[in-house]
């Protein structure tokens, strides 16, 4: 008897138990998934990173625009010695000039005409980086949704366990009351009453622990979803969870095309390919058109205005012909690394799919067994109670049957939540979890 109660106590302590919350707010599982993917700090951080990659595209595109510069200077100087080399005419002599002020003004425009594909490649890199970040954000949000599902279903387990313990406490209290009356009438020994009282005490301790744990769990879920931390979630009804396909089986063919982590890594490979093209383009010349306007003046000596110019320039880094080979090798090696990571990821996907399929199938089988176990435990308690009332069974048999009945009901409540949780784990592994 003592071992049975201890076993029940361990079960209750290991279960995410909690006190039944007040009816302050009702949330469905679909709402929980949406909130986790949009309101949590991690989700907002993922969106911020995506926005950063979008801004990088605009920055890459801006390199197609011309560069324009304006500059001007004014300088005061000591009076220099001015020796004019130009002829001043017959008998002329150089005037005494106090040229101690100089000003300069310049405006220039430079427009790239040909860059060997470096600018276009930079834009493509930025676009592919954005795609990779978007898929990475989706993968992150899917994991957040999975965490929220786990917390939500744990809260359901806690609420159901709390209800079952509370119900059993009422029955135990009635049993203690009945035993006291039977003891007063000399029908049972005092030891039988003490056993019933001990069982009631164990139930009460388990309920107290449950009440503490469910408060913690409720707080964790509220904090995770970034809602008021004082919010009390009301009784969860898993009958609201629709669309559960008991025959669903994850497929590798589906997963390798739909999983966001695979798509993110594939986008990273495109980035590496674009980077290789840009690296190779470094050996090509750059052609640009330029135009400018210059003006300057030296006090009492010369003033130049309307000095406009227009032309074409070529820049060619000859050193890149022998220096760039190492950079090309680095870019090629990066592609090889990503290919190897893709192969590792595909192996990981296969393992996760097989495990998710087996876990989902096992959860369904266990649920059927737990349904049968409840019927068996309820019938066993009824028979034992009849035997006890007829003096065939003793108090230990009765209390043991009561513990088994409670434990079977708790197992069934937990099993129902586990089946749903494994279903969503299967969707996650298959790349089919809808977080919108």
pLDDT in tens, 77-129: 777 666 666 555 555 555 556 667 888 888 888 888 888 788 888 999 999 99
Please report the pLDDT score of residue 354 as a whole number.
Answer: 95
Q: Which of 68-77, 135-144, 295-304, 322-331 reaches the highest mean pLDDT?
A: 135-144
Residues 6 or more apart in contact with residue 19 via CB below 8 angstroms = 162, 210, 211, 212, 214, 215
Please report the pLDDT score of residue 102 as a whole number.
Answer: 81
Q: Is pLDDT above 80 for 305? A: yes
Please report the pLDDT score of residue 229 as a whole number.
Answer: 86
Q: What is the mean pLDDT of residues 187-210?
A: 92
Please report the pLDDT score of residue 19 as a whole number.
Answer: 40
Q: What is the mean pLDDT of residues 70-80?
A: 80
Q: Which of 5-14, 164-173, 361-370 has the lowest mean pLDDT?
A: 5-14
Tokens of 163: 């209800």
Determine the angle formed by the axes of helices 320-389 and 395-430, rounding to 10 degrees.
Answer: 160
Please report the pLDDT score of residue 200 as a whole number.
Answer: 94
Q: Is pLDDT above 60 for 301? A: yes
In the chain, the largest separation of any two C-alpha atoms, in whole Å, equals 152
Q: Is pLDDT above 90 for 284? A: no
Give 4-41 pLDDT, tens digit per residue. Answer: 444 445 444 444 444 443 447 899 999 999 999 998 89
Q: What is the mean pLDDT of residues 416-429?
A: 95
Q: Is pLDDT above 60 for 53? A: yes
Identify any residues that bridge with 57 across adjacent strands, giving them in sequence order. Answer: none
Q: What is the mean pLDDT of residues 190-205?
A: 93
Phi-psi region of 408 (alpha: psi -120 to 50; beta: other; left: phi over 0): alpha
Give the number of C-alpha atoms closer than 13 A to the C-alpha of residue 50, restricted to the C-beta side: 18
Q: Is pLDDT above 90 for 397? A: yes
Q: Is pLDDT above 90 for 292? A: no
Closest CA to 20 of 149, 148, 158: 158
pTM for the model stands at 0.80
Confidence of residue 341 (pLDDT cuts 50, 70, 90): very high
> CA-CA distance, 93 to 176, in Å (whole number)?
132
Tokens of 365: 């089988």
Please report the pLDDT score of residue 113 as a whole number.
Answer: 85
What DSSP element (H or E) covers 95?
Answer: none
Please report the pLDDT score of residue 96 as a whole number.
Answer: 58
Please report, rounded to a whole number, the percentage of residues in the chain having pLDDT higher than 90.
Answer: 55
Q: What is the mean pLDDT of residues 403-415?
A: 94
Q: Is pLDDT above 70 for 285? A: yes
Q: Which of 3-17, 179-193, 416-430 has the lowest mean pLDDT?
A: 3-17
Q: Please state, rounded to an integer, the average pLDDT across all residues of the chain.
A: 87
Give 225-274 pLDDT, tens digit per residue. Answer: 999 888 898 888 988 887 888 888 888 888 888 999 999 999 999 999 99
Q: Is pLDDT above 80 for 180? A: yes
Q: What is the mean pLDDT of residues 36-57?
A: 93
Q: Which of 72-86, 121-135, 289-303 has the lowest mean pLDDT?
A: 72-86
Q: Is pLDDT above 50 for 351? A: yes
Taking 3-state DSSP, the helix, strand and coil percentages for the chain, each rounded to the nearest 5, stand at: 65, 10, 20
Other C-beta atoms closer than 10 Å to the C-beta of 400 total 20
Closest CA to 108 of 294, 297, 288, 286: 294
């Amino acid at each position: 008897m003592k071992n049975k109660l201890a076993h029940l106590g361990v079960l209750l302590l290991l279960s995410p138990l909690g006190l039944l919350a007040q009816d302050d707010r009702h949330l469905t599982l679909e709402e929980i998934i949406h909130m986790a993917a949009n309101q949590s700090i991690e989700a907002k951080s993922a969106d911020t990173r995506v926005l950063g990659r979008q801004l990088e595209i605009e920055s890459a595109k801006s390199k197609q625009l011309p560069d324009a510069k304006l500059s001007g200077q004014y300088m005061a100087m000591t009076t220099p010695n001015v020796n004019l080399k130009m002829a001043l005419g017959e008998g002329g002599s150089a005037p005494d000039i106090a040229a101690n002020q100089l000003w300069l003004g310049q405006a220039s425009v430079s427009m790239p005409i040909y860059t060997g594909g470096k600018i276009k490649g930079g834009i493509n890199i930025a676009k592919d980086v954005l795609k990779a970040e978007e898929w990475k954000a989706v993968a992150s949000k899917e994991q957040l949704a999975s965490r929220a599902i786990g917390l939500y279903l744990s809260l359901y387990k806690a609420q159901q366990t709390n209800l079952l313990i509370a119900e059993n406490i009422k029955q135990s209290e009635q049993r203690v009351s009945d035993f006291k009356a039977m003891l007063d009438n000399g029908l049972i020994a005092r030891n039988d009453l003490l056993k019933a009282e001990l069982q009631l005490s164990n139930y009460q301790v388990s309920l107290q622990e449950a009440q503490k744990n469910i408060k913690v769990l409720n707080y964790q879920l509220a904090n995770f979803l970034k809602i008021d931390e004082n919010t009390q979630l009301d009784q969860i009804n898993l009958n609201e969870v629709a669309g559960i396909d008991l025959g669903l089986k994850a497929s590798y063919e589906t997963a390798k095309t739909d999983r966001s982590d695979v798509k993110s890594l594939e986008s990273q490979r495109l980035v590496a390919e674009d980077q290789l093209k840009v690296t190779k383009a470094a050996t090509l010349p750059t052609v640009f058109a330029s135009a400018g306007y210059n003006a300057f003046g030296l006090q009492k000596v010369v003033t130049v205005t309307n000095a406009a110019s227009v032309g074409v320039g070529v820049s060619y880094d000859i050193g890149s012909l022998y220096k760039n080979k190492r950079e090309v090798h680095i870019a090629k090696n990066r592609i090889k690394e990503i290919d190897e990571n893709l192969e590792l990821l595909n192996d990981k996907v296969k393992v996760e799919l097989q495990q998710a399929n087996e876990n989902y199938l096992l959860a369904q089988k266990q649920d059927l067994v737990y349904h049968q176990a409840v019927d068996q435990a309820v019938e066993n308690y009824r028979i034992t109670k009849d035997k006890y009332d007829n003096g065939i069974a003793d108090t230990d048999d009765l209390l043991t049957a009561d513990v088994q009945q409670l434990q079977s009901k708790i197992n069934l409540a937990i099993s129902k939540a586990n089946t749903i949780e494994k279903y969503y784990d299967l969707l996650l592994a298959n790349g089919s979890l809808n977080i919108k």
